[in-house]
Amino acid sequence: MPSTSLDWKNLGFSYLPTNGFVQADFAEGKWGPLTVKKEPYIPMHIAANCLHYGQACFEGLKAFTTKAGKRVLFRPERNAERMQLSAERICMEAPSVGLFVEACRMATEINKDFVPPYGTGASLYLRPLLIGTEPTIGVRASSTYSFIVMVTPVGPYYKDGFSPVQAIVLEDYDRAAPKGTGRAKMAGNYAASLKPGQVAKKMGYPIVLFSDPKENRYVDEFGTSNFIGITADRQYKTPESGSILQSITNEALQVLAKDMGLTVFRGPIALDSLDQFTEVGACGTAAVITPVYSVQFRERKFTFGRPDKAGETLTRLYQDLQGIQYGEIPDRHGWLTAV
C-alpha cells in the first residue's frame, strides 16, 4: 500500500506494510553489516533458540515529524542501552549503541514516506528486535543472533480525547518473578501477561495493574506501562522495583515533573495507600500517558479525579512531552535525534 493512501489521523496501533526493514546478523563473534530487506519475512531454522527457549527481546520507540518538518527519533540511545540490559539478562549478544541507533535511522530513512506528517498526531513506531537464531536442542544460549528494526506507522492514541480508563489488580497472576526477568524487555514477559490481560478485559477493565510478585502488597506496573501517581502536595511518585521495566517515558516525565516544580519520589507504593493520589497515569511510548480513573484492589475501588477528564498535572506533563517530541517547544533536554 503506498503511504499516500494512508489516513494518518485514523490509523490504529497495528502492523501496516512498509518499504522494508533493516537487519544485521551476529556470527563467529561479530556483527555483520546492516542490510535492507523488502519482504516482511525472515527465513529461520526450525530449531532456532528464540522459537523454543525464548531468547528474544525487543524495544519500542517512535519517530516524529516536527513542526519545522524535520524527522526525529526520541532518545534512541536509551532504548539501545535497555536492549543491552535485556540481552545481558538472557545471555544474548546485543548491538552496540552506535549500531542500534544507526539501524533506527536507516529503518526510518528507507520508510521516510511512512513517517506521518506534522499535525496528524500520528508517528512512526519502530520495533527493534533481537533473537537467538542458532538451532539448539539442549537448553543453552545461541551463538548466532539477528538484530532487526521494523517499523509501522501508528495513529494518534487519543482520537477521542485524553480519556481515563479503569484498572484492576489480579492477584491470581504475576507478570514477573521477584528475581526473574521483569526488568528485561523480553518476549516471554509479554506471553505471561496475556492471560491476566484477557481476564481483566472480560471483567471490563482495559488494563491490569500488577502487584509486586513477592508479597502482592506494592504497586509494580501496568501490563505495558509504568505506574505514576500525583499527590495533592505535588509529588510525582513511581515505584522502584526489581521486577518492572525501566520506562524511558517515565524517566523523561520525571525530568519534566521536576522542571514543573514537583518533587519526584521513587520507591515502594503500597496498594492500600493508593488513596494518597489525586491523579494516576500509565506511561509508555505508545500513549505517553493514559490517565487512570480507578484501580480495583480486592474489594476496594480507589478513584482519582474525574471519570471523564484527565487531571491537570498529568495533562500538563503529557502536553510538555508531546510538545518536545513534535518540536512545538524547545528540546531543552536534548532528547531528539535527527534522522
Ligand X SMILES: Cc1ncc(COP(=O)(O)O)c(C=O)c1O
Total chain residues near ligand X (CB under 6 A): 12
Interacting residues with ligand X between 45 and 64 (CB under 6 A):
60
Which of 116, 128, 284, 311 is in the footprint of ligand X by CB under 6 A? 284
Q: Which of 49, 123, 144, 249 binds ligand X (CB under 6 A)?
A: 249
Q: Which of residues 89-148 bind ligand X (CB under 6 A)?
A: none
By C-beta, is 166 or 225 nearer to ligand X? 225
State in angstroms the smallest separation of the CB of 84 from ligand X.
14
Distance CA(55)–CA(141), nearest Å, equals 8
Report, in Å, the least distance between residue 321 CB and ligand X. Answer: 10
Contact 309, 319 (CB under 8 A): no
Q: Which residue in 245, 289, 324, 336 binds ligand X (CB under 6 A)?
A: 245
Q: Distance (Å, rounded) from C-alpha 165 to C-alpha 177?
A: 27
230 part of the interface to ligand X, by CB under 6 A: no
Q: Are 219 and 271 in contact (CB under 8 A)?
A: yes
Q: Examine residue 220 and tell whether it contacts ligand X (CB under 6 A).
A: no
* CA gap 200, 320 in Å, rounded: 31
Picking from 103, 102, 109, the residue whose alpha carbon sits closest to that of residue 70 is 109
Q: Residue 242: name the closest of 182, 201, 285 by CA.
A: 182
Is residue 248 at the binding interface for ligand X, with CB under 6 A as the rule? yes
Residue among 128 and 153 whose Cβ is closer to ligand X = 128
Distance from C-alpha of 339 to C-alpha of 4, rounded to nearest angstrom:
21
Fill in the amino acid letter for 99: L
Beta carbon of residue 10, minimum distance to ligand X (angstroms, whole number): 23
Closest among 189, 162, 163 to 176, alpha carbons compared: 189
Answer for which of 285, 290, 294, 325 binds ligand X (CB under 6 A) is 285
Residue range at the interface with ligand X (CB under 6 A); choices 39-47, 245-253, 294-302, 330-338: 245-253
Q: C-alpha cell of 236?
A: 510525582
Minimum distance, C-beta of residue 277 to ligand X, in the bound complex (Å)? 19
d(CA 106, CA 122): 20
290 binds ligand X (CB under 6 A): no
Segment near ligand X (CB under 6 A), from 158-166, 232-240, 248-256, 273-281? Answer: 248-256
As a whole number of angstroms, the distance between CA 142 and CA 139 comes to 9
Contacts of 215 (CB under 8 A, 6+ apart): none
State in angstroms the smallest separation of the CB of 119 from ligand X.
23
Residues in the site for ligand X, rule: CB under 6 A?
60, 221, 224-226, 245, 247-250, 284-285
